[in-house]
Amino acid sequence: MSEEQPVLVDVTDGVMTITLNRGKAKNAVNKAMAEGVAAAMDELDSNDDIRVAIITGADNTFCAGMDLKAFVTGEMPMLPGRGFAGFVEAPPKKPLIAAVEGFALAGGLEVMIACDLVVVADNAKFGIPEVKRGLAAAAGGLVRLPKQIPPRVAMEMALTGDFIDATKAADVGLVNRIVPAGSALEGAKELAATIVANGPLAVRLSKQVIAESGDWTAAEMWDKQNEIVMPVFTSEDAIEGATAFAEKRAPNWKGK
């Protein structure tokens, strides 16, 4: 794959596939890659024909994190308001699936945990080894990871910099599915197809509630949820879904 295109984007059957395309650098993120990912995320959320996205890496590896060679020259792979890799501080509104082969390390792990769902190869490795380079996992490893796995496990990963394997990742709830090596993208596409078959408005608002509800109090959670999801129940898609069920046919979603 060409190094001239740090990010490759394909859209097929309502699914966008974003490929981190710096295989010779283990798909390490530089500024150009961050800009390419940010542009893809903008297209994902603005194009009604795209329902789900997958982010993956070229050459049988996911992402080795920040491009350290670029870092020592003063280049930072962050964008204002978006953070590392062009999206970790501002994930898309639509579902995003990580398809992981090989290594998801440092910023690569932080890209992965910014996604909604994760499909990994059975030989994949995960870690936030920033401390081994005198750095800190400041793109989500220290603040997002402890909310996704047991805090003591996240603490050990952050302080030791050691890796975990796919089995351990599944045991602590870090990933959704483990598939044979070489088939992570295929597995992610199968998961994406299942999501695409569902009502797009219902999917998007369901993601929003889960993403935002972590700090809601018991007193406010029902009102906050209902404020977001009530439009689903008065939507054209809700009527279509019920009608299609009664008529024993596939729904024709409009996303409204």
**Whether residue 98 is found in the same domain as residue 131:** yes
Tell me which residue range forms the domain holding 238.
200-247
**Whether residue 96 is found in the same domain as residue 159:** yes
Is residue 255 assigned to a domain?
A: no
Tally of domains within the chain: 2
User: Per-residue pLDDT tens for 105-129?
Assistant: 999 999 999 999 999 999 999 999 9
Is residue 2 assigned to a domain?
A: no
**Whether residue 139 is found in the same domain as residue 216:** no
Least confident range from 1-5, 113-117, 241-245: namely 1-5
Residue 110: active-site member: yes
Please tell me the pTM assigned to this model.
0.95
Residue 130: active-site member: yes
**Whether residue 17 is found in the same domain as residue 46:** yes
Residue type, 159: L
Q: Is residue 2 scored above 70 in pLDDT? A: no
Is residue 252 assigned to a domain?
A: no
Q: Which of 4, 35, 89, 130 is catalytic?
A: 130
Q: Which of 35, 89, 101, 110 is catalytic?
A: 110
In terms of Cα–Cα distance, which of 142, 144, 148, 99 is closest to 124? 99
User: Per-residue pLDDT tens for 206-217?
Assistant: 999 999 999 999
**Whether residue 41 is found in the same domain as residue 64:** yes
**Whether residue 118 is found in the same domain as residue 240:** no
**Whether residue 209 is found in the same domain as residue 96:** no
In terms of Cα–Cα distance, which of 56, 43, 210, 34 is closest to 139? 34
